[in-house]
Structure 1
Amino acid sequence: MSATYRQQAPAKVNLFLHVTGKRDDGYHLLESLVCFTASGDVLSGEMRNDDKITLSITGPMASDLSSEKIDDNLVMRAARLLQGTCAPDRGADLILDKRLPIASGIGGGSADAAAALRLLIDMWQIDIDPKSLSDLALSLGADVPVCLHGRTCLMTGIGENITELPDLPDVPVVLINPGKAVSTPEIFKARADEGFSPAGAWETERTFTSAASLADALSECGNDLTLPASGILPEICDVLNALAREEGCLMARMSGSGATCFGIYDTSEQADRAAHAIAIRNPEWWISPTYILNQTIRQHADMGAKFPD
């Protein structure tokens, strides 16, 4: 009987995101403090005895992908790219448990692609050097390399430059998406006349012992895409206000290009209460109370296990 392989695809959160420039080819240069949370998708798979790759999608957000061709899904694209590059005679049956909203600024598709690469490298016993793997990941999307890295880091360039940072504490956060997607290219187009933030805003040796100390440091930074994104989708402001109003919220901010926002709370009890209260008032929103993953937590958890419901 074939072994089942599993990989988590944790939600990526941009704790801050600065646009620091623009290349001649039109790509924007970014600087972002990235972390990952205990909320996310889960990818599982089994080896086939031929070279066929299949993908089934289940989970609460599966219907949001029903209009997408399976071959266009980032998991399939990652699998086919890795197969064509390193393992042309290997195949797999993959199942994606889709829990994160799509096009939401928390790297759902990119995290899924990264999980596919990790899972298939393990399943197919592929030996690939880190530079080639990083280049392969970047060809799938700007956020795939950082999701493949999967740890707290500073992301610069167009997403290809990753500086590993000291672990953050397991800070309680609440993730909220208003149930509407926003277009990243449209957001960058909307901020075309705005200037650029200076690079080097984050001291890479910083360490934190509490949610309050992290929130205080993050107050010196921001998300340069919030204004254009909220101009396109005003519900982003509603989400930010809902997070900030709840007791114990130390800061509320949009992640990535939106529309998902996060609130940092002082305690997990406050985060849970906030999530519950906001959900009662806004039943159509996707809401997930969670916490920032760090290496210590990962070492004490079975990374093949599913995320908590």
Structure 2
Amino acid sequence: MPTITEPAPAKINLALHVRRRRPDGYHDLETLFAFATGGDLITVEPAEANCLTITGPFAAALLPPQSTTPTPSTTPAKAGAQLGADNEDAHGSPNAAPGAAPWQGNLVTAAADAFTTAFAPSTHHALTLEKHLPIASGIGGGSADAAATLRALARLHGVTSTDPRLHEIAAKLGADVPACLANRTTLGTGKGDTLTTLEGLPGTPLLLVNPGVAVSTAAVFKTWDGQDRGPIPEGALLDRAKAGRNDLEPPALALAPEIAQVRALLGAAHGVLLSRMSGSGATCFALFETPQARDTAAIAAQARGWWILATTLA
């Protein structure tokens, strides 16, 4: 069987309206999901035993807690690092299925175990995660990695991408995982896993900026004031996004004031169409009229020592 490589693009929330807290601990929300053309990378291939290797600039950030973790942006790739929790869901719920503790209990290996249980019992896989996205940053890194793992394994084993069991697995892994599995512009409602396909804005210049802080999704939701400020309006995607908001931005700002500096830089940038914090933060994004305007803002953000990804919408 061949080696399969699958991209795990960064997820952004063009708008994120939190409507109420549910009795099950999740939140009812409305969100406009969109995806970048850049992000992490998952590789899978058959193996005699399950194993996971992590490489890339943020590999060291996923080492076990007892390990010394250098600054992610300057850390060389670490082969064979153990993947820890990557809390990326925008709804404040646990990332893994209840009771799951496979391969250190992380999303990538939980996705692989759930897939093999459903589709390929008694098989084993070698997985490689090439980690380019910062951890706990509101751009779906963990969820995108889990979704890419499901897509890669489906390709490896000849499972159609529309098989409903894949969506069922994704929904159990976390509320953002189904959207990342679909990997297209959608309106997410309910927990965020009820998806309606929307016409996207492919090719729109996109800049992601993170000030170098990780924000706990659970802490952000705990700080949310609980006020329902209404739904996302109807209309064209960009108009809906502009008329919308991110209800998690105020509580995230209270926890990480550095976000305000990023928002100020992006909001004042020349040629910006829309700027906002994504998910529960701390990563912010901006859509631009031209690649040149995006790249000028990227240079300004990078000069402050912030992490950036200059890319486009998928």
**Range into which the TM-score falls when normalised by the shorter chain:** 0.7 to 0.9
Q: Confirm or deny: 8 A CA contact 2:209 2:301 kept in the other structure.
A: no
Corresponding pairs, count: 278
User: Are residue 202 (structure 1) and residue 234 (structure 2) matched?
Assistant: yes
Where in structure 1 do 4 or more consecutive aligned residues deviate above 4 Å? none
Which of 246, 250, 255 lines up with 1:223 in the alignment?
246
Supply the distance in 1 between the matched residues of 2:38 and 2:29 (Cα, whole angstroms): 25
Q: Equivalent residue of 1:202, what SS? A: coil
TM (norm. structure 2) is 0.84
Match of 1:64 in 2: 61
User: Are residue 24 (structure 1) and residue 57 (structure 2) matched?
Assistant: no
Aligned-pair distance for 1:263? Answer: 1.2
Q: Equivalent residue of 1:243, what SS? A: helix
Q: 1:122 to 1:276 in 2, by over 3 A?
A: same
Q: Confirm or deny: 8 A CA contact 2:267 2:275 kept in the other structure.
A: yes
Aligned-pair distance for 1:217? Answer: 4.2
Aligned-pair distance for 1:78? Answer: 0.6
Q: Confirm or deny: 8 A CA contact 1:90 1:124 kept in the other structure.
A: no
* Sequence identity percentage: 44
Give the counterpart letter for 1:29 in structure 2: D
Aligned-pair distance for 1:238? Answer: 0.9
Q: Equivalent residue of 1:159, what SS? A: coil
Which of 108, 111, 119 lines up with 1:86 in the alignment?
119
Aligned-pair distance for 1:291? Answer: 0.8
Supply the distance in 1 between the matched residues of 2:233 and 2:291 (Cα, whole angstroms): 29
Unaligned runs of 5+ in 2: 66-81, 84-102
CA offset digits 1:198-243 (Å, max 9, x no partner): 235234xx36xxxxxx2x5422110000000100110110111121
Supply the distance in 2 between the matched residues of 1:274 and 1:244 (Cα, whole angstroms): 10
Match of 2:216 in 1: 183
Single out whichever of 133-142 and 144-153 deviates more from structure 2. 133-142
Aligned-pair distance for 1:53? Answer: 1.7
Single out whichever of 13-22 and 72-81 deviates more from structure 2. 72-81
Aligned-pair distance for 1:194? Answer: 3.4
Q: 1:128 to 1:289 in 2, by over 3 A?
A: closer
Instruction: Describe how 1:1-309 pairs up with structure 2 within 5 A.
Output: 3-48=2-47, 50=48, 52-67=49-64, 69-70=82-83, 71=103, 72-126=105-159, 130-191=163-224, 193-203=225-235, 206=236, 214=238, 216-280=239-303, 282-283=304-305, 285-293=306-314
Q: Equivalent residue of 2:31, what SS? A: strand
Aligned-pair distance for 1:265? Answer: 1.3
Query: Aligned Cα RMSD in Å?
Result: 1.7
TM (norm. structure 1) is 0.85
Q: 1:156 to 1:238 in 2, by over 3 A?
A: same
Q: Confirm or deny: 8 A CA contact 2:151 2:161 kept in the other structure.
A: no
Supply the distance in 1 between the matched residues of 2:21 and 2:233 (Cα, whole angstroms): 17
CA offset digits 1:84-125 (Å, max 9, x no partner): 222112111111110001111000010000000011111123
